[in-house]
Amino acid sequence: MSGKRVLMQGNEACVEGALAAGMRFYAGYPITPSTEIAELSALRLPVLGGHFIQMEDEIGSMAAVIGASVAGTKAMTATSGPGFSLKQENIGYAAMAEVPCVIVNVQRVGPSTGMPTSTAQGDIMQCRWGTHGDHPVITIAPSSVSEVYTEIIRAFNLSEKYRVPVIFLMDETVGHMREGIEIPDPDSYQVIDRAMPDKKGDNWRPFAVDSEKDVPKLPPFGMGWRYHITGLTHDERGYPTSSPEKSAAFISRLMNKLALNRDDIISCDSYMLEDADIAVICIGSIGRSAKEAVNRARAKGIKAGVFRPVTVWPFPDKEVTELAKKVKRIVVAEQNCGQIVLEVERCVRGACPVTFKGKANGSMLMPDEILAAIEGGEN
């Protein structure tokens, strides 16, 4: 159906984009407001020779995704708040064992059961620090249905390329919104599959790399390379180790795998920033309110613009630091009690004032509310 203009829901675009990226395994557990992703996966996957399984719980869903990926299949799960919390241990395992996988979180209001059908952006920090220990993770937050389609493809590509869990951070607004979108032609985007080792030598060490910028080439199980995968800190052979030297080398490589490739991973959207005095920083669906707020501000003669990290983690720190040198003030608008603002303040380092505009009551942050913050009416 490529090249065609269709009316599509964000959750549907997530599935169609994932299938275009090569997703052939889905394990999940029903949870609002992500359920359409499971339903459409159940409908579409068997037709393509793929597998959908409704697991007994969220933990098992994440585990089955890891298993399918280890067997060589591009795998995804989708959930929301409470389910995302339950998946955290195995997300950490995927980071530790370098298992490519995509976890969709359609955010709803928390904490706990919160407001299951209402929109929020309260899981931004959980994406980064939800599982225990230092670990690498990529998070991508789309703001429109068409961006859901293209960015979920990028999520799979980054996951395969860097062998990390990628969290696809939607919010209820993006998940349930319907828009007309142009299905991109498959020639217009790249689909990346994980790299295979060249050949198995006698001293093949599965986790050995030439430099920390490189990613281990781990073959799927059952293809003639027999090796060990563990969530314990391990050496280049994949064997558990408690040596401080090997442990230091391991965690350094794991973290630098993303840090040294950040320019390839980070993607940001800018709107009318060229001459802006005030920059609004936001993610996901709030990008839409922010653009409208900027249009209204411009109509009043205020030079405002929008900076929207599409890659939320790793955070575009250098970009925000540069932005802070160019503008007179930054407004951070988010649907929570203050998460992205902490990163922004860290990167701005006092170079300009930062105003926070948050909202966490289940209703969307509206253009006029952001406009008021641009005009300096609220802090």
Partner 1 sequence: MDPLVKKYFRQDMLPHIYCPGCGHGTLMKDLVKAVDNLGLEKDQVCVVSGIGCSSRSAGYMDFNTIHTTHGRAIAVATGIKLAKPELRVIVITGDGDATAIGGNHFIHAARRNIDMAVLVFNNNIYGMTGGQYSPTTPMGDFGTTAPYGSIDPSFDIPTLAKAAGATFVARGTVFHTAKTIRLMERAILHKGFSVIDCMSVCPTYYGRKNKKGDAADMIRWQRDHCVDSADAKLMSPDELEDKLIIGETFHRNRAEYTSDYQELIDRCKGGAQ
Site for partner 1 in 21-50 (CB under 8 A): 25, 27, 46-47, 49
CB of 332 to partner 1, least distance (A): 36
User: Is the separation of the CB atoms in 123 and 103 below 8 Å?
Assistant: no
95 forms part of the interface with partner 1 (CB under 8 A): no
Out of 227, 233, 269, 298, the residue judged to bind partner 1 by CB under 8 A: 227
Count of residues that interact with partner 1, criterion CB under 8 A:
44
| Candidates 190-198, 229-237, 243-251, 342-350; binding stretch for partner 1 (CB under 8 A) | 229-237
82 forms part of the interface with partner 1 (CB under 8 A): no
Structure tokens at 271: 């709107």
User: Is the separation of the CB atoms in 209 and 215 below 8 Å?
Assistant: yes
User: Is the separation of the CB atoms in 340 and 282 below 8 Å?
Assistant: yes
- Give DSSP secondary structure letters for 62-104: HHHHHHHHHTT--EEEEE-HHHHHHHHHHHHHHHHHT--EEEE
| Candidates 69-77, 165-173, 348-356, 369-377; binding stretch for partner 1 (CB under 8 A) | 69-77
248 forms part of the interface with partner 1 (CB under 8 A): no
Out of 129, 189, 204, 239, the residue judged to bind partner 1 by CB under 8 A: 239
Closer to partner 1 at the Cβ: 61 or 335? 61
Contacts of 378 (CB under 8 A, 6+ apart): 355, 357, 369, 372
Query: Residue 16: phi, psi to the nearest 5?
Result: -65, -40
| Candidates 11-19, 118-126, 218-226, 364-372; binding stretch for partner 1 (CB under 8 A) | 218-226
CA angle 291, 289, 174 (to 5 degrees): 115
| Candidates 60-68, 252-260, 325-333, 361-369; binding stretch for partner 1 (CB under 8 A) | 60-68
69 forms part of the interface with partner 1 (CB under 8 A): yes
Structural element, H or E, at residue 154: helix 145-162
CB of 183 to partner 1, least distance (A): 22
CA dist 76 and 104 (Å) reads 8
Residues that bind partner 1 (CB under 8 A): 25, 27, 46-47, 49, 51, 53, 55-57, 59-61, 63-73, 75, 89-90, 93, 97, 220-224, 226-232, 237, 239-240
